[in-house]
Amino acid sequence: MAPSSSALVSFAIPLIFGVFLRLLFRLLKSRQARKPSLPYPPGPAPKFLIGNAFDVPRFGAYKKFAEWGKEYKSGLIHISAAGQHIVIVNDRKIAEELFEKRSVLYNDRPEFPVVPLMGLDYNFTFLKGDAWLAHRRICQKNFNSSAAKQYQPMQTTEVHTFLRGLLNSPSEFTDHYKLLSIALQLSTMYGFTPTSLDDEIIRVADESSALSASLLLPGATLINIFPILRHVPAWVPFASGQRRAKRCKELTELVKALPLNCAKKSVKEGKASPSLVTEYLEQKALGISDLEQEKIINNVAWTVYNGGSDTTRAATGAFIHIMAKHPEIQRRAQAEIDRIVGCDRLPTFADRTKLPYIDAIYREMFRYHPITPMAIPHCLNEDDVYEGYFLPKGAWVVPNIYAMARDENVYSDPSTFHPDRFLDANGELNDDSRVLTYGFGRRVCVGKAVASASTWLTIVSFLACFNVGKAKDDFGNEIEIDDEYEDNGAMIQKKHFACSITPRSEQARSLILETEFL
């Protein structure tokens, strides 16, 4: 039965009044609070009540923050939104000082009231305190540099499947690398490998991911600014955020259960492939686990899938686009592979240390095209001071990866793709090994060793087997490769484009086909 109009009015009036009181309370509190003796970092002047809420674009905020950094000649920018202090970090050295040397102050996360409404409170990226530490211990144990090697057989299998897909239908390369990005996560976390993008897990996960991304954008919902709104029922006409969050939660609960049930079935039947979850389930069958660990393992596995599949997809798309635009770099990389690996086998992880130019491409790809241009905000635990600027307790402190990656004081000609910037005079890798996309401090991406391995193997395998360049139309004319990328506010990924992907030789074709029987 639909609520009556009188019920809506009786509910809406107190709510609106409550929101007004909250705004007024925040304003009075900020005016009554002890004014710091030191200034905040520079930034645009805030407007009455709303602060800078409407100064920040919904898409491309990282570019606006970088522009403000140049305008105010500062690596730190301060803005506010309805009383919430926000500090943008545009400078890498400042980020390392705050998030690493002062990590005890900066390792927390802000509260996102919409997250539990969406069913995303399983995601340890958003966790705080003891719950976050418990999840982090599991990740450190299973994803450190040494433990990451256990996933290499699965990664190799999925990358080889990707190569066969490209060989059979190169024009559908976008679908192939999307399936690769998903299969890498599901196989290493659950021992399950999807064979088609029509798989139910993928369809439900895509819808859930799109909904969650839209709700976590800056300004996407007032729930994060005014937490009282989380109590508004989904049936209220203006509560579109609540309705989307409710649908997201339904999808999240469904999609989390699907691969877990597959893993349980495979263990029960004795057909389980090695993975994080199946290994745990086998231990559970032996009575050497507990319920709390089961919950954490499941949370970690789906967090890895949810974050890893999107970032891997974006990275692979950017790589193919960059190689298609830079044939001279592609040829140089292939020459290194031919010289070290030869043409009688495909590259393996054992070759990585002998292929510095491939690793330079890997590093430069993430610098030139940071797929996550803004890191998830950190939250300051106590008042702090940096070079004469006051940073208040409770402030959101946000690393601007894009600004750091395009810093002209660090990287000369930053808008040019130039892998040599990561090589020394002898052609070996220099000490600039940080991939900014993985974040900083104790909140650094815990799966970076696993992610680095799978991305590197994809890059070197593709280059060993294929040439990529401009496609031709029906009249034999080359089709220019466009530079259009999609920005959903949290991630940037290449839109589909036309290109030509062909095997480098008949020998390369044979090596790809042989992988099906390995």
pLDDT in tens, 483-516: 999 987 788 999 999 999 999 999 999 999 999 9
Residue 340 domain flag: yes
Residue 390 domain flag: no
What pLDDT is recorded for position 242? Answer: 83
Residue 446 domain flag: yes
pLDDT in tens, 460-483: 999 999 999 999 998 999 999 999
Rounded Cα gap, residues 390 and 78, in angstroms: 10
What pLDDT is recorded for position 150? Answer: 95
DSSP, residue by residue, 377-398: PEE-SS-EEETTEEE-TT-EEE
Residue 3's pLDDT band, with cuts at 50, 70 and 90, is very low
How much of the chain, in percent, has pLDDT values that exceed 70? 90
What pLDDT is recorded for position 83? Answer: 82
What pLDDT is recorded for position 234? Answer: 74
The enclosing domain of 293 has a CATH number of 1.10.630.10
Q: Is the pLDDT of residue 75 over 90?
A: yes
Residue 430 domain flag: yes
445 annotated as belonging to a binding site for a ligand: yes
Q: Is the pLDDT of residue 176 over 70?
A: yes
pLDDT in tens, 305-349: 888 899 999 999 999 999 999 999 999 999 999 999 999 999 999
Residue 225's pLDDT band, with cuts at 50, 70 and 90, is low
Query: How much is the mean pLDDT over the chain?
Result: 88
Residue 286's pLDDT band, with cuts at 50, 70 and 90, is low
Q: Is the pLDDT of residue 1 over 50?
A: no
Q: How far apart are the first and last CA of the chain?
A: 60
Residue 139's pLDDT band, with cuts at 50, 70 and 90, is very high
Residue 120's pLDDT band, with cuts at 50, 70 and 90, is confident
Residue 163 domain flag: yes
Residue 29 domain flag: no
Residue 94 domain flag: no
What pLDDT is recorded for position 10? Answer: 38
Residue 104 domain flag: no
DSSP, residue by residue, 267-302: HHTT-PPS-HHHHHHHHHHTT---HHHHHHHHHHHH
pTM of the model: 0.90
For residue 418, list its beta bridge partners. Answer: none
Q: Is the pLDDT of residue 180 over 70?
A: yes
Q: What's the rounded mean pLDDT across residues 144-172?
A: 96
What domain count does the chain have?
1
pLDDT in tens, 52-61: 888 888 788 9
Rounded Cα gap, residues 341 and 509, in angstroms: 16
Better-scored residue on pLDDT, 372 or 228? 372
Amino acid at 478: E
Residue 485's domain comprises 122-193+273-368+406-517
How much of the chain, in percent, has pLDDT values that exceed 90? 64
What pLDDT is recorded for position 37? Answer: 85
What pLDDT is recorded for position 8? Answer: 37
User: What is the per-residue burial (b if ≥16 Cβ within 10 Å, else e) of 375-402?
Assistant: bbbbbbeeebebeebbbeeebbbbbbbb
